[in-house]
Structure 1
Amino acid sequence: MFERIAELAIRRSRLVLIVTVVAVALMGVLGAGAFAKLQAGGFDDPSSESSRARDLVDEKFGGETNLVLLVRSSDGRVDAPDAERTGRALVSDLKKESDLDNVVSFWDTGSPDLRSKDGREAMVLARVKGHDAEQQENAKGVIDDYKGSYKGALTVKAGGSAGVSYEMGPQTGEDLVLAESIAVPLVLLLLLVVFGTVVSALLPLVIALVAIVGVFAQLSLIGSVTDVSIFAINLTTALGLGLGVDYALLMISRFREQLAAGATVEDAVRRTMSTAGRTVAFSAATVAAALAALMVFPQYFLRSFGYSGVGVVVIAALATLFVMPALLNVLGHRVNKGRMPWAKPERSGSGSSGWGRLARTVMRRPALTALPVLAVLVAAASPLLGITFGTADERVLSESAESRQVATSLRENFNGNDAAALHVVIDKAVDKEQLTAYATRLSSLDGVARVESSAGVHADGKPRATGPGNPALGRPGAQQLNVVSALTPKSDEAKALVDDVREATPPSGTDPLVGGADAELVDSNSSIGAQLPLAAGLIIVTTFVLLFLFTGSVVQPLRALVLNIISLGATIGVMTWIFQDGNLSGLLGFTAQPMETSMTVLMFCVAFGLSMDYEVFVTSRIKELHELGADNESAVADGLGHTGRIVSAAAVLLAVSFFAFGVAEISFMKLFGLGSGLAILIDALAVRGVLVPAAMRLLGRSAWYAPGPLRAFHNRFGLSESAPAPAPAPESVRDAPHEKDSAGV
């Protein structure tokens, strides 16, 4: 197959490039509408109890409160005559808004719970109508109209989930633009350093452009038929840029190596496709397999990354396999045009002597060199012993974000946080006596400030003397109780309260559903935890099968899996030490909180896939040399000599595209970018440079072992990495000067 692709590229180069330009233009037009179809939510399991409770509230009670307007008097208390008059006017205007429902405020209820302890602030609660994208657009219109000064007497700030989405959506776009404005120039500069010529440095950006534009078009199409998270855009750009560079780097390096050895342009294209082209295909398959596991999770936030991740890998690989050989055939020796002043035109030898020497040094004393590296990685993983998990809330935004300021004020200045209340929904008629008894039991639970229901307000296990019940919480065939606490949202105590409320004895013959932000956290963690074994199993099985088909060994896949898990454990441990424990929070500008569950799973899958990317890069050359008759140690040393600098250069370039998200304002994108970049560097340097040669030396000939039946299966059905290779060149040829790029690739 790869030989046929090479012939197509050679005979129809310009046609391939013309078709590519037309396809990119069409995909660009289609992908331009992607942003309007993507959404900021998706962290919840739609089949969970909390999601079903939310649906029931929507159906029976007009929906949960999702917009909190924090209103502050410009001069004095909110119950002063002027402030009260202006406040009532504000509420009247809000009730006229067609996009709002269930508007409730301090001024029209007189509830002291909707007024701050110092009397200077009051809450207006409302529900923004619509679903997902429509709701976000409606919230934007309302917030834009009312935030800031209202008639000179009141100051309005927007919070709640609608307020968070209002700020998070634009912030995502700003973070993306800033990250790419940093990553692209740095990557281009590093490409010039790696390749040493302008033309070859620009070629990887062509592949990255095709991949990114292609996935934007894909997300636009998928977003038209199902929910897709807007954060998938971030993975698309980082991974598209990184993989475009990775795959193109491997292809261009092999092409230039063939030209330097005296091959014609056509033969160099053929040999590049039969070796590096196959490696790219196998590498893409392993990365896509890891990212495809994200699709087993019910949260569309994670599934969206599966869509975009698999899409960008496949499109980047296809562009590399079809567009790159056509470009190389058209350019020929001009691929080395525009040589930079620091690039040396020639070098002796065909591999990187530094990486080859490192491999031989490690293999002389494998245990002695590997144990210190393992000790450091294990120590880095130790914070995992105290890891806790949470979901995204307003704290992922900067302290200057209005929605975060509103949440802070609700926690600190009000008697309980209405915006974080648990919503207990009963889908049956309940008489007042049973409802009162149930509300009394709930109000006596530890951490509960009050329970609001149609039967009254209860606190500390008894009815509160002031304040009637809220008739809006009762329907002929349903009842809703709001359990308001003063606990810190998403804390261990808040999660324990969810369990306590769910375990409380309900009215006879009823089966209440418990929802709210803290219930969603509990259910999300439970849902992801339930699917993790399946996702991990899929990753392990597909990786094992692909590497077995690639190498013909059952030991190589096991070695790769063990080393990858060690490096990923170290990465997530370091991220826990930083983002959960708060180390470097001042420098990086974030608020420490539990590790975001979905983002941690995403980071693991992405980093695992990319680590297998480099596994295939290195193993492909080692296997190629091993099949040519080299002994195990020589194959490892020479294989790393050929690929070491390619892998390290590719890792640095890919890490830069992820590290750029370290400047993001949204903290979990900062976590994802820094964690993925660190995982890439650990894998490429510590694992490929030290642990792989040490493991290969300790395994010896058994590194290529497979039971007889599996060996026969591989001989018949296995996927050979390279086409039949020519016999090894004489020593004089191998040692002849070769044209060099500045990184020795």
Structure 2
Amino acid sequence: MTRFLGRLGAWCARHGLVVLTLWVVAAAGLMGASLVLGSPVSNDATIPGTDAQRAHDLMRSGFGPGYETGGTVQLVLYAPQGQLIDKARKEAVERAITDIRAVPHVKQVDTPFRRGGIASNLQIGLITVRMEGHDPAKPAEAAQAVSRAAQPARAAGLEVVAADSSTPADKEIKTGPSEIIGVACALLVLVLAFGTLTAALVPIFTALVSVAAGLGVIGLLGHVADVPKQAGIMATMIGLGVGIDYALFLLSRHRKLLADGVPVQESVRRTVASSGGAVVFAGGTVIVALSALVLGGFPLLRTLGLVTGVSVVTAVLTSVTLVPALLGLLGHRVNALRLPFLGRRRGGDSSGWAGLGAWVARRPWRVLIGSVVVLAAITAPALALKLGPLDDGYAAQGSEPRRAYELMASGFGPGVNGPLLVVAELDEKAAGAQAPVVKRLSDAIEHVDGVAHVAPAKVGDTGRTVMIQAIPDYAPSDSRSADVVHDVRALSVPGAKLHVGGKVAALTDAGDRMAERTPLVIGVVVLLSALLLLLAFRAPVVALKAAVMNLISLGAAFGTLAMVFSVGLGSRLVGMDPPLEASSLQTFFFTVPIESYVPLMLFAVLFGLSMDYEVFLLTAVRQAYLRHRDNTRAVAEGLGSTGRVITSAALIMVSVFVAFIAYPDPMVKTFGVGLAAAIAVDATIIRGFLVPATMVLLGRANWWCPRWLDRLLPNLSVEGHEEDDHEVRPGGDAGHGQREDLPEPVGARG
């Protein structure tokens, strides 16, 4: 890989204009095609094999698509003064209903002046619209068309708000100023790190091209696969972070070589041959971690992980091709536009980090104990992590979904925002005596603890399917709603087999499936990542230790998430708005549930990103160790040579992730907080203190490899081991001939 990457980098440097043109044309073409042809997205949050999915399938076959979640639009009416039943207002509502019936794809409109359609205060009512034949992937557009037709009601002084009946996969997350803020912060960090504007712009430009190409590919993939709406924002977050970081690692190595007097073309070749290998390996670990999400049993999560991996692939490709092309074109002008107030910056200026490395190496036990205590304190709140579905009660204050949610909860109770759709399959005998069976079903459901109201039953065309809507006492995000789902499913009615669907039931099944599959996903990710490290460094101790360190950084991320969202200490700071009627204490400790699939997605992303820093630090320590065989000195030198670059890379990634906290969507806020906290802890406490301390204490055992395992492993090279090794060892091929009882560095013997 080293020789291949070296040749690739040299070719790109010699043909810089060609490579630059190809990438710009490819990125523009992919984005243009995505805009012209459209970027289809799927709101399919189904989980095959679950009870909720079975209920939805029965609804579709027995009642048609209009009775499913995506086929119903509800308009909430509110009379700020007076009542809905006043003559003038009632006539205005009837005119609005007439206009709504003329909207394309509207099959049925239920007036609010019916049983259960108007609140007891007579100020809040519901118009329920059944849709048929519309695009189920665009529920928001259907709701907007229906809402526009209700203009006569608005003209009469009524507030009309479209309720959001979508699932989490329906939420369209639009790009906004967060990307600009993230890029601006990254540029500032790069300018401070390099001291020159030209060098700082290289990673920014590369990352933007990478993200544009990745988003174009993702948009076009929507024509052949189900792509969730969250894919674009996740790809942008991860793509910007890793794209800038990978280019930063390469650029730092190149500037150091230039400062040492190496010619431009040779410097680019050596940079891509060495640091390019680490970039490819680091990107591979992220992709492996994301790919493991296919085992989660949740199609939405699986597709989200695979599609997000596209942004990582484009980041790696641009790093090993576009970056060397730009470096070849710029030559020594890469250090142009130097900012005088920052002084001169050498690529290898790291005396401060070298001093820290020496300080850690002199007192490893104290550093180890101190780091463990600090990390334990950060991780401890993770025990209070509260998982659960997010409802529109957590949407931005003043938004239409939040307003509709609050009006419905005020008029009909919080459970009306998450009704349970109970679907019963009747056997032949029960179908022949429908009335008594249906009554027993309704009575049984009504007597379940936590059920506030049961709507009249509906019987399908075949007479074998019965649907009953049950309104819980609790909001969709309340954990007690899931208990109601399980209790209803546990009912036994002779002649009928019950299934429970609806948004709450589907999210409950998703949470159960995630809890069931999480150990499998974690085990596979840890095992594969450790195996990749073993292949790269041929050192079992290093591979095992790296996996453990990454798990520790994940603990810190979950601890921060729990403190901010589950405990509520900081939820206001990230833009979460408590209910208007909340007390001052509830406002200060405003808790927000975390979607059940978020921890698993965070685990995969963070495990891969954490491995990036582990690879860059370990390669520097290993190279130093192979030169002089002094483990303590190698740890200090490795931290000194990589500390500044890793810190700059972490600052960039943290800046990008923090910028995305400004998004109004709670899911994006959750990812932003978790990713930023984990990267900050990983690049400082773990890579700066814990990893060096453990490596000093382990000594030569870090690089020990049994002879039998050394023979089995293929001879890979990360960060240019083959080049460096043959310069410092007389004879022999790297990586073979280890004695099992002697913990010498891998490849030290011929």
Structure 2 length as normaliser, TM-score? 0.89
* TM-fit CA distance, 1:163: 10
The alignment partner of 1:106 has SS state of coil
The alignment partner of 2:165 has SS state of helix
Q: Deviations over 1:328-349 (max 9, x none)?
A: 12221111111111233366x9
* TM-fit CA distance, 1:727: 4.4
| 2:612 aligned residue | 613
Could you tell me whether the CA contact under 8 Å between 1:447 and 1:487 is conserved in 2? yes
* TM-fit CA distance, 1:472: 6.2
Amino acid at match of 1:663: A
* Separation in structure 1 between the aligned mates of residue 89 and residue 77 of structure 2, nearest angstrom: 10
Could you tell me whether the CA contact under 8 Å between 2:388 and 2:479 is conserved in 1? no
The alignment partner of 1:717 has SS state of coil
1:597 and 2:596 equivalent?
Answer: yes
| 2:588 aligned residue | none
Q: Structure 1 residues 298, 674: CA separation in 2 closer, same or farther (over 3 Å shift)?
A: same
* Separation in structure 2 between the aligned mates of residue 178 and residue 96 of structure 1, nearest angstrom: 39
Residue of 99, 102, 114 corresponding to 2:105: 99
* Separation in structure 2 between the aligned mates of residue 123 and residue 187 of structure 1, nearest angstrom: 48
Q: Deviations over 1:352-406 (max 9, x none)?
A: 1211221221222212112222112112222222222112321341121222222
| 1:721 aligned residue | 719
Amino acid at match of 1:67: V
* Separation in structure 2 between the aligned mates of residue 660 and residue 684 of structure 1, nearest angstrom: 19
| 2:246 aligned residue | 247
| 2:545 aligned residue | 559
* Separation in structure 1 between the aligned mates of residue 413 and residue 271 of structure 2, nearest angstrom: 69
| 1:160 aligned residue | 164
* Separation in structure 2 between the aligned mates of residue 164 and residue 275 of structure 1, nearest angstrom: 43
Tell which deviates more after alignment, 16-25 or 266-275. 16-25
* TM-fit CA distance, 1:728: 7.1
| 1:82 aligned residue | 88
Could you tell me whether the CA contact under 8 Å between 1:289 and 1:542 is conserved in 2? yes
The alignment partner of 1:389 has SS state of coil
The alignment partner of 1:318 has SS state of helix
| 1:531 aligned residue | 517
| 1:272 aligned residue | 271
| 1:138 aligned residue | 142
| 2:747 aligned residue | none
Tell which deviates more after alignment, 206-215 or 150-159. 150-159
| 1:392 aligned residue | 390
The alignment partner of 2:92 has SS state of helix
Once the two structures are superposed, the pairs formed by residues 104-123 of structure 1 within 5 Å of their partners are 104-107=110-113, 110-111=114-115, 113-123=116-126
Could you tell me whether the CA contact under 8 Å between 2:169 and 2:230 is conserved in 1? no
Could you tell me whether the CA contact under 8 Å between 1:250 and 1:646 is conserved in 2? yes
| 1:743 aligned residue | none
Once the two structures are superposed, the pairs formed by residues 176-191 of structure 1 within 5 Å of their partners are 176-191=175-190
Could you tell me whether the CA contact under 8 Å between 1:362 and 1:369 is conserved in 2? yes
* Separation in structure 2 between the aligned mates of residue 416 and residue 295 of structure 1, nearest angstrom: 35
1:259 and 2:258 equivalent?
Answer: yes
| 1:568 aligned residue | 554
Could you tell me whether the CA contact under 8 Å between 2:13 and 2:328 is conserved in 1? yes
* Separation in structure 1 between the aligned mates of residue 538 and residue 39 of structure 2, nearest angstrom: 47
* TM-fit CA distance, 1:350: 4.3
| 1:548 aligned residue | 534
Could you tell me whether the CA contact under 8 Å between 1:2 and 1:274 is conserved in 2? yes
* TM-fit CA distance, 1:576: 1.1
| 2:60 aligned residue | 58
1:15 and 2:27 equivalent?
Answer: no
* Separation in structure 2 between the aligned mates of residue 345 and residue 683 of structure 1, nearest angstrom: 29
* TM-fit CA distance, 1:147: 6.7
Could you tell me whether the CA contact under 8 Å between 1:495 and 1:519 is conserved in 2? yes
* Separation in structure 2 between the aligned mates of residue 636 and residue 53 of structure 1, nearest angstrom: 59
* Separation in structure 1 between the aligned mates of residue 436 and residue 695 of structure 2, nearest angstrom: 74
Amino acid at match of 1:549: L
* TM-fit CA distance, 1:232: 1.6
| 2:445 aligned residue | 442
| 1:636 aligned residue | 635
* Separation in structure 2 between the aligned mates of residue 138 and residue 298 of structure 1, nearest angstrom: 30
The alignment partner of 1:504 has SS state of coil
The alignment partner of 2:573 has SS state of helix
| 2:744 aligned residue | none
Q: Deviations over 1:114-164 (max 9, x none)?
A: 211211111112234435424343233223443795332432111131499
* TM-fit CA distance, 1:479: 0.9
Could you tell me whether the CA contact under 8 Å between 1:435 and 1:507 is conserved in 2? no
Structure 1 gap ranges (5+): 455-470, 730-745
Tell which deviates more after alignment, 56-65 or 674-683. 56-65
* Separation in structure 2 between the aligned mates of residue 330 and residue 368 of structure 1, nearest angstrom: 49
| 1:48 aligned residue | 50
Could you tell me whether the CA contact under 8 Å between 1:239 and 1:309 is conserved in 2? yes
Q: Deviations over 1:193-240 (max 9, x none)?
A: 111112111110222122111111211222112221222211222222
| 1:468 aligned residue | none
Matched residues, percent identical?
31
Amino acid at match of 1:426: A
Q: Structure 1 residues 474, 499: CA separation in 2 closer, same or farther (over 3 Å shift)?
A: farther
RMSD, matched Cα: 2.4
The alignment partner of 2:121 has SS state of coil
* TM-fit CA distance, 1:44: 4.3
Structure 1 length as normaliser, TM-score? 0.89
Residue of 490, 497, 508 corresponding to 1:511: 497
Could you tell me whether the CA contact under 8 Å between 2:294 and 2:301 is conserved in 1? yes
Q: Structure 1 residues 31, 287: CA separation in 2 closer, same or farther (over 3 Å shift)?
A: same
Q: Structure 1 residues 365, 682: CA separation in 2 closer, same or farther (over 3 Å shift)?
A: same
* TM-fit CA distance, 1:103: 2.4
1:372 and 2:370 equivalent?
Answer: yes
Q: Structure 1 residues 678, 15: CA separation in 2 closer, same or farther (over 3 Å shift)?
A: same
* TM-fit CA distance, 1:630: 3.5
The alignment partner of 1:450 has SS state of strand
Could you tell me whether the CA contact under 8 Å between 1:74 and 1:152 is conserved in 2? no
Q: Structure 1 residues 682, 711: CA separation in 2 closer, same or farther (over 3 Å shift)?
A: same
Could you tell me whether the CA contact under 8 Å between 1:286 and 1:543 is conserved in 2? yes
| 2:351 aligned residue | 353
1:37 and 2:30 equivalent?
Answer: no
| 1:462 aligned residue | none
Q: Structure 1 residues 518, 603: CA separation in 2 closer, same or farther (over 3 Å shift)?
A: same
Amino acid at match of 1:483: A
The alignment partner of 2:664 has SS state of coil
The alignment partner of 2:74 has SS state of strand
Q: Deviations over 1:32-64 (max 9, x none)?
A: 35874235x454424421122123213322323
Could you tell me whether the CA contact under 8 Å between 1:105 and 1:124 is conserved in 2? yes
* TM-fit CA distance, 1:513: 1.4
* Separation in structure 1 between the aligned mates of residue 61 and residue 445 of structure 2, nearest angstrom: 24
* TM-fit CA distance, 1:475: 5.2
Q: Structure 1 residues 310, 164: CA separation in 2 closer, same or farther (over 3 Å shift)?
A: closer
| 2:218 aligned residue | 219
Amino acid at match of 1:497: V
| 2:408 aligned residue | 410
* Separation in structure 2 between the aligned mates of residue 46 and residue 99 of structure 1, nearest angstrom: 28
Could you tell me whether the CA contact under 8 Å between 1:215 and 1:308 is conserved in 2? no
Q: Structure 1 residues 147, 361: CA separation in 2 closer, same or farther (over 3 Å shift)?
A: farther
* TM-fit CA distance, 1:493: 1.8
* TM-fit CA distance, 1:100: 2.7
* TM-fit CA distance, 1:496: 0.9
Could you tell me whether the CA contact under 8 Å between 2:39 and 2:222 is conserved in 1? no
* TM-fit CA distance, 1:701: 1.0
Could you tell me whether the CA contact under 8 Å between 2:100 and 2:149 is conserved in 1? no
Tell which deviates more after alignment, 650-659 or 218-227. 218-227
Q: Structure 1 residues 190, 416: CA separation in 2 closer, same or farther (over 3 Å shift)?
A: closer
* Separation in structure 1 between the aligned mates of residue 360 and residue 167 of structure 2, nearest angstrom: 55
Residue of 78, 95, 101 corresponding to 1:72: 78
